[in-house]
């Protein structure tokens, strides 16, 4: 495939829909992560407590548990707009209401328990939204032109970072002037805009329901009672997606794939979780907004597009390996910044490099997960794989604040250790490289 053919892929109007939904997916992390960390830091909350509030993010690691509902359950009244769209719209409405409540909290340091509950609830609906959005993208692109998978993955990444970075920039840029409560009221309004965008996109057409009925028919023999039909429905809904994954890849390879997915981004997760806390010790809110959100966000959007083109030519496996090595290297730049002090030139260099490596590796990673999913249970299987990847980013990385305190606030040592965390995943990738290349080839052939 020529470069021109690859670029033409971006002219597909579905790419715009994926971008908009990527924005909607990244936006809640402004609410529950970057803006919240700064708000709590300004309120005098300790690093350890800020990190522990992040335990609420652990819900992302378990959203596969209710992902089958997004594949199989229709929402009354609004399901007519589409299975994926109705779930996305419902979760966005819930997050908007919860954000309005969060905006009324006047002393987050004194009401930390309430803040934690609200953050958990927003994270719950955000994780559910992610299931539907990922399934929306997979249903639209997984079974067409092979180059469309990295392109869609890139636009999902661009959208995620646009939805996370640019609202985050405005939040940090104006927080000192208007206060965090006003910022959160404005962010709640942004969710209303995402709801409008959700109504305008087009639901993907798939044969998912036909395939699910065919699988159900394998369990149905003759006349069955209502309870037996319910058991059959639950079996197909909850068990078949997992069984299908292991059947397609074999027990040993499937387990190794799942372990790799868990390990791949742990180092990046620890860095990302504590980056705002680190920046707050060296820079002002406005500086953080300008460098980390604005410049970093723009860089990620550009680098994700470049990364998709490179990944089409390299292949997913080599893209993952190069991305992993680059992530480790970029983490070391933050150790340099920690030793140098509040140097804006080093900050900009570190952020741009980190955003390049993050964008490149994320495009490869999302393409990799997409290639592993099946047609009948796209929401459930992708959610399972993404949840395992999120486990390191959410559950383990919540101890990042404690980890920094354990080192006595030694930020350079912390960043070096996050770089070392990348190594186990890379070693495992080398071990399973050949079967992964075969999966990619088979996926390409099956797409025609």
Q: 10-residue block means of pLDDT along the chain (448 residues)?
A: 68 89 96 91 86 82 86 85 94 98 93 93 96 90 66 87 88 92 96 96 78 69 70 76 83 91 82 79 86 83 82 78 89 92 91 86 85 77 84 67 83 90 91 78 50
pLDDT of residue 440: 62
- pLDDT reported for residue 311: 75
Q: What's the pLDDT at 3?
A: 63
Q: What is the pLDDT of residue 88?
A: 97
Q: What is the pLDDT of residue 448?
A: 42
Count other C-beta atoms under 10 Å from residue 232's C-beta: 18
What is residue 142's predicted lDDT score, i.e. its pLDDT?
62
Look up the CATH superfamily of 12-446: MFS general substrate transporter like domains (1.20.1250.20)
pLDDT at 86: 95
- pLDDT score for 447: 45
pTM: 0.78
Residue ranges of domains in the chain: 12-446
Q: What pLDDT does residue 367 have?
A: 82
Q: What is the pLDDT of residue 426?
A: 92
């Amino acid at each position: 495939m020529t470069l021109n053919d690859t670029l033409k892929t971006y002219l597909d109007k579905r790419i715009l829909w994926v971008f908009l939904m990527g924005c909607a997916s990244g936006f809640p992390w402004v609410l529950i992560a970057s803006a919240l960390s700064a708000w709590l830091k300004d309120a005098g909350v300790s690093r350890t407590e800020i990190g522990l509030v992040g335990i609420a993010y652990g819900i992302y690691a378990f959203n596969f548990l209710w992902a089958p509902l997004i594949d199989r359950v229709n929402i009354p009244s609004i399901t007519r707009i589409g299975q994926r769209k109705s779930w996305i719209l419902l979760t966005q409405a819930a997050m908007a209401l919860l954000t309005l409540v969060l905006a009324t909290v006047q002393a987050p340091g004194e009401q930390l328990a309430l803040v934690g509950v609200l953050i958990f609830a927003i994270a719950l609906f955000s994780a559910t939204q992610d299931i539907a959005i990922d399934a929306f993208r997979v249903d639209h692109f997984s079974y067409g032109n092979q180059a469309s998978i990295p392109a869609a993955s890139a636009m999902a990444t661009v959208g995620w970072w646009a939805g996370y970075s640019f609202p985050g920039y405005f939040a940090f840029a104006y927080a000192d002037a208007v206060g965090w409560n006003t910022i959160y009221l404005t962010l709640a309004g942004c969710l209303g805009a995402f709801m409008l965008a959700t109504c305008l996109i087009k639901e993907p057409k798939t044969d998912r329901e036909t395939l699910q009925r065919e699988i159900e028919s394998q369990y149905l023999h003759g006349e069955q009672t209502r309870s037996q039909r319910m058991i059959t429905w639950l079996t197909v809904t909850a068990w078949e997606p997992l069984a299908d994954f292991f059947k397609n890849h074999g027990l040993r390879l499937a387990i190794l794939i799942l372990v790799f997915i868990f390990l791949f981004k742990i180092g990046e997760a620890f860095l990302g979780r504590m980056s705002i806390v680190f920046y707050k010790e060296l820079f002002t809110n406005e500086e953080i907004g300008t460098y980390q959100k604005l410049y970093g966000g723009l860089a990620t959007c550009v680098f994700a597009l470049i990364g998709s083109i490179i990944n089409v030519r390299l292949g997913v496996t080599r893209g993952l390996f190069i991305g992993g090595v680059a992530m480790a290297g970029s983490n070391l730049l933050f150790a340099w910044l920690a030793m140098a002090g509040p140097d804006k030139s080093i900050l900009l260099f570190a952020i741009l490099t980190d955003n390049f490596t993050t964008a490149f590796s994320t495009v490869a990673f999302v393409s990799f997960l997409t290639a592993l999913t099946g047609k009948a249970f796209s929401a459930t299987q992708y959610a399972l794989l993404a949840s395992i990847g999120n486990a390191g980013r959410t559950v383990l990385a919540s101890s990042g604040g404690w980890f920094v305190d354990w080192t006595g606030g030694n930020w350079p040592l912390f960043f070096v250790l996050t770089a070392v965390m990348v190594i186990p995943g890379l070693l495992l990738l080398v071990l399973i490289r050949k079967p992964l290349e075969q999966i990619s080839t088979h996926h390409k052939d099956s797409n025609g």
